[in-house]
Amino acid sequence: MTKLPEHVSTDRLGVLIAAYEYEMGTCFRCSRRRVQVTRFGEITSDEGETPLYACRECVQELLTMHERSMERMDTLPRIVQLPRAPRGVEAT
């Protein structure tokens, strides 16, 4: 995986966002193509699993939503890096 240079803030949220591994692909949330994305979840059914990849901006929005939810429960989110899709499968 190629590390692409990008300025990341040093605040808590910036550190969380920077902790993910990124690759070029399409964001499932905003549909932008050829941007840095990370595997952020999946859709699972009887037929199989479809990985979901999100760009940095959408990761930030999703983490902010999650962090606000956790604040109500007095819990901080933790980073879980999901496994990458097998080689040859485009990040979508």
Please give the pLDDT value at position 34.
97
The residue range of the domain holding 43 is: 12-72
Tokens 């939503």 sit at which residue? 65
Q: CA-to-CA distance for 38 and 15, rounded, in angstroms?
A: 15
- Asked whether residue 91 is assigned to any structural domain, the reply reads no
- Asked whether residue 85 is assigned to any structural domain, the reply reads no
Provide the whole-model pTM. 0.63
Nearest Cα to 65, choosing from 10, 4, 16, 1?
16
Please give the pLDDT value at position 2.
46
Please give the pLDDT value at position 32.
97
pLDDT tens per residue, range 2-53: 454 455 456 777 777 788 889 999 999 999 999 999 998 999 999 999 999 9
Contact 56, 22 (CB under 8 A): yes
Phi first, then psi, for residue 18 (nearest 5°) are -70, -20
pLDDT tens per residue, range 49-71: 999 999 999 998 998 888 888 77
Please give the pLDDT value at position 5.
45
- Element (DSSP H or E) covering residue 58: helix 56-72
Count of the separate structural domains present in the chain: 1
